[in-house]
A = this chain, B = another copy of it.
Amino acid sequence: MKLDPQEIEARFRRHAVRVTRQRAAIYAALAETTSHPTAEDLYRTVKRQHPMMSRNTVYYTLGVLRQAGLAQEVNVGHEVARFDGNVAVHHHLVCLGCGQIVDVMDDGLNQLAISSRQARGFHVLGHRVEFHGYCADCQPAGLSAMDRRG
């Protein structure tokens, strides 16, 4: 879904994030997709319209957006960091074949709790559930292969 520049600026101001062309481009690229891109993906995307864009700016901006609560880092296994413009509480479904990550919005999952005996004195603030399996396209391969990922 295409995101209105006005709306981007409004969100930035609401979260006290200084508005620059680079930032707007990076945030737009992130917020307009549900594919959980890597920093490199975003760099390549925004570079098309901003040839001077540096990788550093992408990393720096992702840090700013994250701290402002406009983006989230998603980590699956020990792979490259991926980013998510969806900052609502949600969970993920990961394909062990192609690596795609799909958002799962489910109130039941959001309300999971841990027994106080298990909590061992922790003050629990939240949780995250990651389902893994094979997507429709990867299923034939996935069912034969006994491949497991960490």
Residues of chain A having any CB pair with chain B under 8 Å: 66, 72-78, 81, 93, 95-96, 102, 104-106, 109, 112, 114-115, 118-136, 139, 142-143, 150
Contact = CB atoms under 8 A, between A and B. Distances in A.
Nearest to A76: B75
A9 to B, nearest CB: 24
Contacts of A150: 66, 72-75, 81
A57 to B, nearest CB: 19
A124 B131 contact: yes
A75 B81 CA distance: 12
Given A73-B77, A77-B75, A118-B104, A125 B112 contact: no
A23 to B, nearest CB: 19
B122 A134 contact: yes
B106 A122 contact: no
Interface of A is mostly: mixed
Contacts of A135: 120-122
B139 A123 contact: yes
A114 B104 contact: yes
A143 B122 CA distance: 12
A125 B104 CA distance: 16
Nearest to A142: B123
A131 B126 contact: yes
B109 A112 contact: yes
